[in-house]
Amino acid sequence: MSACIFCKIIKGDIPSLKLFESDKVFAFLDINPLSRGHALVIPKFHGAKLTDIPDDQLSELLPVVKKIVNATGAENYNVLQNNGKIAHQEVDHVHFHMIPKPNLKEGLSVGWPQQKTDMDKLKELLEEVQAKM
């Protein structure tokens, strides 16, 4: 995708602070970090959402996230992958954030608006989803 900023980073047309590169994966520092060590891990295959990426590309991403966690020495961290505008996705090329959480102020803040347990609704949903898997 010629207009995609992350495809341009992979090609080297836009500079990045590269941490890692392999045949299928590219990783670099986020330019507006939420904390020290905030990194992005992306497939070289262009796709906007998780479901657009072939499994053989997808399966190589988390081991690289793990490598970066170990290399930065982060003890507390969030791994985040946003899909779609209202889910806070700004760049339409799949990316995993690795965001160290060194203290309560820096890093990711998460809203977690839990709903009450409704076993009937949960069981209905379970059947519906299981039938399509």
What are the beta bridge partners of residue 97? 40, 80
Q: Which amino acid is at 115?
A: Q
Give the residue from 76, 83, 78 showing the smallest Cα distance to 30. Answer: 78
For the question of residue 88 being annotated catalytic, the response is no
Pair of tokens at residue 83: 């899909």
Containing 58, the helix (H) or strand (E) segment is helix 55-58
Residue 2 DSSP class:
T
Q: Is 4 in the site for Zn ion (CB under 5 A)?
A: yes
Considering only residues 29-48, where is the footprint of ligand AMP by CB under 6 A? 30-32, 40
Q: Is 82 in the site for ligand AMP (CB under 6 A)?
A: yes
Query: Which of ligand AMP, Zn ion, none interacts with 10 (beta carbon under 5 to 8 A by kind)?
Result: none
Q: Is 46 in the site for Zn ion (CB under 5 A)?
A: yes
Distance CA 31, CA 101 (A): 17
Q: Is 86 in the site for ligand AMP (CB under 6 A)?
A: no
Q: Using only C-alpha atoms, what is the Rg of the chain?
A: 17
Owner of token pair 């299981």 = 130
Query: Which of Zn ion, ligand AMP, none interacts with 131 (beta carbon under 5 to 8 A by kind)?
Result: none
Of 88, 105, 116, 132, which one interacts with ligand AMP (CB under 6 A)? 88
Q: Is 72 in the site for ligand AMP (CB under 6 A)?
A: no
Residues that bind ligand AMP (CB under 6 A): 5, 14, 16, 28, 30-32, 40, 82, 88-91
Kindly list the catalytic residues. Answer: 95
